[in-house]
Amino acid sequence: MNLTIEVNNNTIEAKQGETILDVLNRHGMSVPTLCHMKGLFPTGSCRMCVVEVEGRRNLVTACSEPVMPGMKIKTHSSRVIESRKTIVELLLSNHPDDCLYCERNGNCELQKLSEDLNVRERRISGTKNNYKLDVSSASIVRDPAKCILCGRCVRVCDEIEGVSAIEFVGRGSKTFIDTSFNHGLNLSTCINCGQCIMVCPTGALKEKPHISEIKNNLSDPSKTVVIQYAPSISVSLAEEFGFQPGHNIIGLMNAALRRIGFDFVFDTSFSADLTIMEEASELVHRITNQGVLPMITSCCPGWVKYAEEFSHDMLPHLSSCKSPQQMMGAIIKSYFAETEGLAPENIYSVSVMPCTAKKFEQQREEMTQNGISDVDAVLTTRELARLIRMHGIDINKLEPELADSPLGTRSSAGKLFGSSGGVMEAAIRTAHYFVTGKEMVKFQVKGVRGLEGRKEAFVQMGDLRVGVAVVSGLKNAADIIEEVRNGRSDIHFIEVMACPGGCINGGGQPIGADEDAIRARMRTLYDIDEKDAIKVSHKNPYIVELYDKFLGKPLGHKSHHLLHTHYQKRDIF
């Protein structure tokens, strides 16, 4: 039912059941928020979004207050602004004064609120927090001293990921965010997804930095430093340099990476094609040999750790394929090293990932050959942007360049890995070919596309009717796993990504992107697929050559040794 309300003396339409904040946003008006998270139940705890409602003695929180017919609202009265300003001053009263050194300087919501509300002096002095930095995790650094207790990280960890690695601890002014029993994040159930970083308004959460180590290796003449970048990076890095969301800057990125000093530049979409060759073969083998079904993808390291901790009964369902990052790492230090006449120990292998969990994956013991890591360091998209700026490179002035061959050549199926549903679509295309000996008439599998947290489809492959499901956000994964446990048997293959929408919205991507930006990134990946000539992994000529010259056949002895792995049950507190 529609109703009318008055906002700042203007009459506007509202719908029954909407909150004041919903209505304001729909009409292009804004009030500041801190604890609010779109799509999650409002708590109104930070009180930053307060507005004045005629007839009400106290200010009300716009995020949680439903609209009523005839409501008269003031969003920026003196009383409202003073109240918001006081909240910010209180938050600043015990906040560390080290903005100039902070990761989020220039991109901090607290800093912006302070600026917007014209906070120009310290009227309230509080005792500074003395919390320890938690650097125990391979992926995430927590700085509780910078935390303003908005609770967003706790909610995303619990309500989107279903992990609950962090929680409010203590009471009153002694409240802080911590892991169970005050153990470091590395001993918690944290799956390293980085979604908490994406929602944190301040610098209280950030990725574990790898830039210094990479710089040291770049200046070591004994090292050949190679870099690979994940399929989604070229469509998200652009935003760090002022381009429109979804703008594809792959050529400029290749050029920038060479200016920084990387000796070889490779595209992880190549090893995404390789993953598909192995994974589609594994799927067909399982289906035709009564193997464990449904098979579940294993390229998301956040999901893999979640399965090891919370769903170890599902580990036999996980594909044994390493992720594209690790496959590329293994191929670089074997096939590439051999063809270039390089010793694997003299290759320093870097990857750029949309993901903080990749920093954890890279350090897993299983991801080594003869004591040498497949991948040596991982940069997030944000860190790559920082590295480019650090080198004084004006990306706008570069001429586009191609990645190095052969490990920089991909099909468009490999590129689709960047979006939720992309691995599935790429795998279906190749599995169809393996089963029927024919290409699909139409390559698009519309049922697995889009940003929804759960998608299902059925695909005909000759006489086989294959059921597939795609989930992102591990709360959604938990639901479908429960269905499998309860005997659901019409689904043969499940793609799981920890981050909602997949890698285009990974925990290492630029901070502050809204849903429109994520959609724009996704659209670009599908546009690339639409335009490219080679749409299936098994037709990538360099993949064919890699099998001919080096690997033999998918699931063969060499592939098994280099490209497959195993998982382990992990105990949790």
Asked if 49 is part of the footprint of ligand SF4 (rule: CB under 6 A), the reply reads no
- Respond yes or no: is residue 13 known to be catalytic: no
User: How near is the Cβ of 199 to ligand SF4 at its closest, in Å?
Assistant: 6
User: How near is the Cβ of 43 to ligand SF4 at its closest, in Å?
Assistant: 12
Of 177 and 520, which has the nearer Cβ to ligand SF4? 177
Q: Which residue has the tokens 């920082």?
A: 386
Asked if 37 is part of the footprint of ligand SF4 (rule: CB under 6 A), the reply reads no
Asked if 135 is part of the footprint of ligand SF4 (rule: CB under 6 A), the reply reads no
Q: With beta carbons less than 8 A apart as the criterion, state whether 237 and 380 touch.
A: no
Alpha-carbon gap, residue 185 to 475, rounded angstroms: 20
Instruction: Among 88, 193, 407, 470, indicate the residue that binds ligand SF4 (CB under 6 A).
Output: 193
User: How near is the Cβ of 175 to ligand SF4 at its closest, in Å?
Assistant: 10
The DSSP output letter for 134 is B
Q: Which stretch binds ligand SF4 (CB under 6 A): 200-208, 256-264, 276-284, 425-433?
A: 200-208
Q: Which stretch binds ligand SF4 (CB under 6 A): 44-52, 187-195, 290-298, 422-430?
A: 187-195
Q: Dihedral (C-alpha) 512, 228, 521, 499: value to the nearest 10 degrees?
A: -60
Asked if 499 is part of the footprint of ligand SF4 (rule: CB under 6 A), the reply reads no
- Respond yes or no: is residue 167 known to be catalytic: no
Instruction: Among 14, 46, 190, 468, indicate the residue that binds ligand SF4 (CB under 6 A).
Output: 190
Q: Which stretch binds ligand SF4 (CB under 6 A): 77-85, 115-123, 142-150, 291-299?
A: 142-150
Alpha-carbon gap, residue 270 to 252, rounded angstroms: 19
Of 166 and 470, which has the nearer Cβ to ligand SF4? 166
- Both tokens of 36, joined, read 């609010």
User: How near is the Cβ of 474 to ligand SF4 at its closest, in Å?
Assistant: 8
Instruction: Among 81, 90, 149, 169, indicate the residue that binds ligand SF4 (CB under 6 A).
Output: 149
Hey, is 348 helix, strand or coil? Answer: strand
Phi/psi class of residue 359: alpha, beta or left (left: φ > 0; alpha: ψ in -120 to 50)?
Answer: alpha
Instruction: Among 32, 162, 201, 245, indicate the residue that binds ligand SF4 (CB under 6 A).
Output: 201
- Respond yes or no: is residue 6 known to be catalytic: no
Write the binding mask 251 to 290 for ligand SF4: x where contact by CB under 6 A, - elsewhere: ----------------------------------------
- Respond yes or no: is residue 279 known to be catalytic: yes
> Can you point out the beta strands (E) in 248-335?
264-267, 295-296
- Sort 312 into a burial class: Cβ within 10 Å, 0-12 / 13-18 / 19+: middle
- Respond yes or no: is residue 173 known to be catalytic: no
Question: Which entry of 299, 300, 321, 499 is annotated as an active-site residue?
Answer: 299
Q: With beta carbons less than 8 A apart as the criterion, state whether 92 and 123 touch.
A: no
Of 80 and 157, which has the nearer Cβ to ligand SF4? 157
Asked if 166 is part of the footprint of ligand SF4 (rule: CB under 6 A), the reply reads yes
Asked if 141 is part of the footprint of ligand SF4 (rule: CB under 6 A), the reply reads no
Write the binding mask 85 to 124 for ligand SF4: x where contact by CB under 6 A, - elsewhere: ----------------------------------------
Q: With beta carbons less than 8 A apart as the criterion, state whether 479 and 353 touch.
A: no
Asked if 321 is part of the footprint of ligand SF4 (rule: CB under 6 A), the reply reads no
Asked if 195 is part of the footprint of ligand SF4 (rule: CB under 6 A), the reply reads yes
Q: How many Cα neighbours within 13 Å face the side chain of 563?
A: 31
Asked if 536 is part of the footprint of ligand SF4 (rule: CB under 6 A), the reply reads no
Site size for ligand SF4 (CB under 6 A): 28
Write the binding mask 203 to 232 for ligand SF4: x where contact by CB under 6 A, - elsewhere: -xx---------------------------
User: How near is the Cβ of 34 to ligand SF4 at its closest, in Å?
Assistant: 8
Per residue in 487-524, is it b (16+ CB within 10 Å) or e — as a string? eeeebbbbbbbbbbbbbbbbbbbbbebeeebbbbbbeb
- Respond yes or no: is residue 282 known to be catalytic: yes
Alpha-carbon gap, residue 486 to 148, rounded angstroms: 42
Of 113 and 448, which has the nearer Cβ to ligand SF4? 113
Asked if 200 is part of the footprint of ligand SF4 (rule: CB under 6 A), the reply reads yes
Question: Which entry of 282, 308, 383, 425 is annotated as an active-site residue?
Answer: 282
What is the full DSSP assignment across 45-60? -S-TTEEEETT-SS-E
Question: Which entry of 279, 308, 425, 495 is annotated as an active-site residue?
Answer: 279
Q: Which residue has the tokens 């040498």?
A: 372
Vertex 49: Cα angle to 48 and 50 (nearest 5): 95
Beta bridge partners of 11: 6
- Respond yes or no: is residue 109 known to be catalytic: no
Phi and psi dihedrals of 470, rounded to 5? Answer: -130, 125
Beta bridge partners of 379: 352
Per residue in 474-485, is it b (16+ CB within 10 Å) or e — as a string? bbbbbebbeebe
Question: Which entry of 208, 358, 415, 535 is annotated as an active-site residue?
Answer: 358
Phi and psi dihedrals of 55, rounded to 5? Answer: 90, -10
Instruction: Among 31, 117, 147, 347, indicate the residue that binds ligand SF4 (CB under 6 A).
Output: 147
Question: Which entry of 54, 115, 345, 366 is annotated as an active-site residue?
Answer: 366
Vertex 446: Cα angle to 510 and 251 (nearest 5): 40
What is the full DSSP assignment across 112-127? HHHHHTT--S-----P
Of 151 and 406, which has the nearer Cβ to ligand SF4? 151
- Respond yes or no: is residue 299 known to be catalytic: yes
**What type of residue sits at position 354?**
P
User: How near is the Cβ of 201 to ligand SF4 at its closest, in Å?
Assistant: 6
Alpha-carbon gap, residue 151 to 36, rounded angstroms: 9
User: How near is the Cβ of 340 to ligand SF4 at its closest, in Å?
Assistant: 37
Q: Active-site residues: which are they?
A: 279, 282, 299, 319, 358, 361, 366, 503
- For ligand SF4, the binding residues (CB under 6 A) are 140, 147-153, 156-157, 161, 163, 165-166, 177, 190-196, 199-202, 204-205
